[in-house]
Amino acid sequence: MFSVFIRVHRWFHLFFSTPLDWHYLIEIKGVMAYNADMDISRDFIVVGSGIAGLTFALKVAEFGSVAVITKDAPDESATKYAQGGIASVMTEDDSFDLHVQDTLEAGRNLCREDVVRIICKEGPACVRELIELGAAFTTQGNQYHLTQEGGHSKRRILHAEDLTGLEIERALIQAVNQKDNIDLFAHHMLVDLITKARLDDSVVPGSSEDEAVGAYVLDVQTNEVKTFLGKSILLASGGAGKAYLYTSNPDIATGDGIAAAYRAGVRIANMEFFQFHPTCLYHPQAKSFLISEAVRGEGGVLRLKNGDTFMEKYHAQGCLAPRDTVARAIDFEMKKSGDDCVFLDVTHLEGYRIRERFPNIYKKCLNFGFDMTSEPLPVVPAAHYMCGGAVVDLNGQTNVRRLFASGEVCYSGLHGANRLASNSLLEGLVLSHRAAAKAMGLLKETAPWEKFSVPHWDSGGAVDSDESVVISHNWDEIRRLMWNYVGIVRSNKRLERAERRIKLLYEEVREFYWDFLITKDSLELRNLVITAQLIIQGAMNRKESRGLHYNIDYPEQDDALWAKELFAQDVQPRLLIANKSETIRHE
């Protein structure tokens, strides 16, 4: 085995409705040598251990072997932190048409209606399967207690008190642990996807000839890079809230899946639509603890510091308006008054109702010195959910064959320009069911890695970093510029500033990645800067305001010109077989 480093100039292409002409010097590093004994091969590879990933794993495990890759503990996912619940039509006074209508209205004329209808219609059956697995939702008498959240016309949110995600994750992990043919690889992080285009330079990334073969995965605890091979791969790695300074997301939400998909030629859509949850607890030690939308659904009222209400000025539904409207209204009122926060008031409700309905939120707020039964809670918006993502069809299939995506990492068209509350868990559940059915059909085919000699990772001459401050500094700068320039309210000048700075940061991150051995921190930084670029470019290209994207220079929604999805795709080759010794070049 030998090592070589190669520097090549390539174009950094983003394919939006308006072509871009960014140029980057991309450095390709690393050399790998083939050794079949080092492979970890399974029928199905799953990246992520939330509701989308584990649902898929359980379904396909009936037909083949499964490897679930998760970069932290198995239960550490965005699903675990979902408080409110899962939206599903469960009563006779509700209907699929009403759920569809609510979703389409929230999505601001940008949802894919066929997707919305299928997910709303198939949702209840999938929820019942989740219940059969052991998920215990809150009941009232002999029926499930349903709550209402912003944008919903009916009570249709199933919940497990105010810890719904934790209960769902518990049930799924328990079911997975009972399957002998599902292997959980905790503390393993996706480095890059292995595709046919990265092994055969005649194949254009993301083309109809391209297909997924496997993935390079970092063992976070040993810093060893392993080669995983599978007949089908599901990306269920969650979102990218850590791209922003203030977020309700867990620390794992660094855009790993979206960045890896983009590098592999997967089409990406609508990254400009990043949802900000309106009500996160405002406290220096709270780390943006989320106050569920269900609190407003049960009667909570938003007030200014002087006690005045304000949401009635912005939407007919007042405090139950869709999230984009509420977050923007709070942002506007805070900037107008100069106050650091607004207040969520439930003191007019009976204290026992609050303690019974929201026991976790009540206890958590008490820990921070707030008794929500007797005083309003200080709240601010925080980055919460990525509505854009890897483009998939109704079966979760991306444009790269054998590569599926489900949950927050994907763009199915369900959410459009703004996600309706509690539709996210539903999407991950239904799409993963459908993706599993599609993936199982590929089992009879020859394993893709049998067609190629898949090289393995070798870091060559890279050395351990002695400049960790580069990572912490650039991480902080990315998050601050995204919050200040690409946040709830945007402008052309702010976006131009963000674009200029992110280009420089990209170069610094690229250089660091080139010079030093990879670590979890350096990979997360690499993924964040790519994800930030995609958000910025999406925002710059959409010349209107719609849903979660609000630009003061284009304040109106323009259906005539912009009722369409904007796409990004990188089709330039990154990995190439070098010669007969089967070495490989890697960015």
Q: Known catalytic residues?
A: 323
Q: Which amino acid appears at position 540 of this protein?
A: M
8-state DSSP, 312: G
404 and 67 Cβ atoms separated by less than 8 Å: no
The span from the CA of 516 to the CA of 466, in Å, is 9
461, two tokens: 């001459």
**Number of C-beta neighbours around residue 192 at 10 A:** 21
The span from the CA of 215 to the CA of 228, in Å, is 5
Helices 164-177 & 51-60 angle (0-180, nearest 10): 30
8-state DSSP, 419: P
N-to-C CA span, the chain? 19
**Number of C-beta neighbours around residue 467 at 10 A:** 10
- DSSP bridge partners of 463: 516
Residue with tokens 């003191």: 347
Nearest to 226, CA basis, from 505, 38, 470? 38
8-state DSSP, 490: B
- What is the full DSSP assignment across 509-562? HHHHHHHB---HHHHHHHHHHHHHHHHHHHHHH--S-BTTB-BTTB-S--HHHH
The span from the CA of 236 to the CA of 79, in Å, is 11
Residue with tokens 């869709």: 322
130, two tokens: 């989740």
The span from the CA of 256 to the CA of 383, in Å, is 17
8-state DSSP, 350: -
